[in-house]
Amino acid sequence: MPSSGDKIALWNRKLHYYFGLYLLAFVWLFSLSGLLLNHQWEFAEFWEKRNTVTFERVIQPPKGMLDLERAGDLIRQLEISGEIGSITTRAPDSLEIQVARPGTMFQVKADLARQRASVQQINVNGWGVFRMLHTFSGVQRTGAVERDWLLTRIWSFFMDAVSAGLMFMVLSSLYMWWDIKKKRRLGMAAVVAGIASCGFFVAGLRALP
Amino acid sequence: MLTAKTFYRWTRDLHLYLGLYLSPFVLVFAISTILLNHGWKPVGVPASPRVVDGIEIPQDLERVQGMRRALEVKKILAQVGVSGEINFIRTIPRENRIIIPVARPGQETTVSVDLKARTAVVETRETGIGDALIYLHRSPGPHNVAIRGNWLFTRVWRWLADGTVYLLLFLSASGVYLWVFLRAERRLGLILLAVGCTSCVGVIYAIVRG
């Protein structure tokens, strides 16, 4: 009969495979999009190739007491979907909203007195979508977390889940490696080299003169 | 000659050792993702500002742009004993002043130089380990490309961050290769691989289509 240690080792190994296989597509997505963000490769140019469309619509005065409620009602009237980025009220009868989702950005300028809204819609290509997926979390530049779109909440949940999954992958790999006695020495050298090179950047650079 | 068995063993060993080396880097990116995703902010305590007099202002400072300007600014930073990645250079002509925010992982320094009086006020803030992780996650990043990598260690980190991606791709590809040989795990593994790919593509499709 297998001991509890054997059972833990078995399930640790199985979960390492399962998490790894489930996370594969996400890991590739975030790795490659991270690489794109760190390099300005010409083939992945997206902003210069953007496509802008402007249109105007008749609107009803948006319902709600708070700016976010009014903005939400207005974008529903305009049949726009995405994460509301910023809301500006320059005058009592004006409402300006920025809405974004990977691949598309909207700038809405509503004249509430005239009951009209003009919308500038900017579409970017697949490379732009790819880059935006890496950073699309609903966290504002100020650090405020206001996820008003359901899909932003779902995507940020996946971001957390992928991170937690990767942490599990690391810990489970350490457990598996420690179980193989003849690979401990070389493995330890690899772990120490990793900690030294990474730790230097995390904690060591501050100590430099 | 490389037999299938030798190739398998090499792949397994490289998966193990490269994975172990990469572990701390993966943890840095994973933990910082969670911090970024929840709007975590560092609570840094600024050190008392210090004033440095008699700064020599490089002659070409006003004439050059981009990386050359960053290199000129570095001459000022060397005089005030500050090193790190220059985030940007802000000129305030009305006050005859330039502001230079300089960053290191877990530390932010602002150098304000009075070009006329040739004095500099240096203020350093320790922002802690959490902020260091976030800084490294975002570094070098897509902003201020013209001057990015003006510090040696940012250039080294760029290389390490790229290396992390390439090794992660190798680890996932080799992981799939090793899994294929485990007959008992094939069915469930295949289901999880399919579910993972479908959920990833499905959510992206929903987000992009709105």
Average per-residue pLDDT in chain B?
A: 94
The pLDDT assigned to B48 comes to 83
> How many pairs of residues across A and B have Cβ atoms under 8 Å apart?
198
CA distance, residue B64 to nearest chain A CA (Å):
23
Asked if A145 and A167 touch (Cβ cutoff 8 Å), the reply is no
CA distance, residue A148 to nearest chain B CA (Å):
13
The pLDDT assigned to B44 comes to 74
The pLDDT assigned to A208 comes to 84
Residues of A whose CB is below 8 A from B182 = 17
**Choosing among A13, A17, A21, A171, which should be mutated to test the B contact, i.e. which has the most B CBs within 10 A?**
A21
CB contact under 8 A, B193 and A169: no
Residues of B whose CB is below 8 A from A191 = 20-21, 23
Q: Is the dihedral of CA B9, B12, B13, B18 positive or negative?
A: positive
Report mean pLDDT in 10-residue bins for chain A, 209 residues: 84 96 97 95 94 95 89 94 91 92 96 95 97 92 81 96 98 96 96 98 90
Residues B177-189 have a mean pLDDT of 94
CA distance, residue A92 to nearest chain B CA (Å):
30
The pLDDT assigned to A189 comes to 98
CB contact under 8 A, B41 and A143: yes
Confidence bin at B1 (pLDDT 50/70/90)? low
CB contact under 8 A, A201 and B105: yes
**Choosing among B20, B124, B186, B192, which should be mutated to test the A contact, i.e. which has the most A CBs within 10 A?**
B20
CB contact under 8 A, B176 and A190: no
State ipTM.
0.93
CA distance, residue A21 to nearest chain B CA (Å):
5
The beta-carbon neighbor of B30 closest among A82, A145, A163 is: A163
| Bridge partners of residue A142, in order along the sequence | none
Residues of A whose CB is below 8 A from B12 = none
CB contact under 8 A, B23 and A26: no
The beta-carbon neighbor of A31 closest among B24, B27, B169 is: B169
CB contact under 8 A, A183 and B16: yes
Residues of A whose CB is below 8 A from B134 = none
User: Is residue B106's pLDDT more than 70?
Assistant: yes
CB contact under 8 A, A194 and B17: no
Helix, strand, or coil (residue A105): strand
Q: What is d(CA B188, CA B126) in angstroms, rounded to the nearest whole number?
A: 48
CB contact under 8 A, B165 and A187: no
How many helices and strands (H and E) does chain A possess? 5, 5
The pLDDT assigned to B43 comes to 81
The beta-carbon neighbor of A190 closest among B20, B29, B129 is: B20
Half-sphere exposure of B144 (CA within 13 A, CB side): 19
Residues 6+ apart with CB under 8 A from A173: A16, B16, B19, B20, B23
pTM above 0.90, yes or no: yes
| Bridge partners of residue B126, in order along the sequence | B45, B107
The beta-carbon neighbor of B193 closest among A24, A167, A174 is: A24
Using one digit for the tens of pLDDT, what is the confidence trace for B24-82? Answer: 999 999 999 999 999 998 887 778 899 999 999 998 888 899 999 999 999 999 999 99
Q: What angle do CA B47, B50, B56 make, to 5 degrees?
A: 140
Q: Name the amino acid, one letter, at A132.
A: M
Q: Where are the domains of chain B?
A: 4-39+159-209, 45-126
CA distances (Å), origin B48, targets B13, B102, B110, B123, B124: 52, 17, 12, 7, 8
